[in-house]
Structure 1
Amino acid sequence: MRAVIAKHLSEIKEGYAAVFVLKSPPGHAAFKDIEDNICQLLKKAKILKT
């Protein structure tokens, strides 16, 4: 079950990445903020360990 959840979350993260790559210049702060927020949510859900 955890692997299934992680797979879906990685797909969501890739989706965000694709959107921000299209809408933002490379290295744009908004993309980094989204990435950090996703990582924080994963940590709170105890899916991401690092």
Structure 2
Amino acid sequence: MAASMSDDHAYYLKRSEDHRGMADRSTVASSRIAHLQFADAYARRADQVLVQED
């Protein structure tokens, strides 16, 4: 069964939250920055999925 756009949205938001958590726990500046960049990218993708669904 294919995932719905709601499922995709939830997945991307979860991944964004996960990366923010990893950034908070990171002790290496470059790792923290990378995790924050991934978190932002996943959050943007979650927003795009919602726009596509409308």
**Shorter-normalised TM range:** 0.5 to 0.7
Matches within 5 A, 1:6-21: 6-21=9-24
2:41 corresponds, among 21, 33, 37, to 37
Normalised to the residue count of structure 1, the TM-score between the two structures is: 0.57
Gaps of 5+ in 2: none
Gaps of 5+ in 1: none
More RCO (CA 8 Å, sep 6+): 2
- Percent of aligned pairs with the same amino acid: 8
Normalised to the residue count of structure 2, the TM-score between the two structures is: 0.54
- The alignment yields a C-alpha RMSD, in angstroms, of 2.3
Identify the structure with the greater helix proportion: 2
Q: How many corresponding residue pairs? A: 40
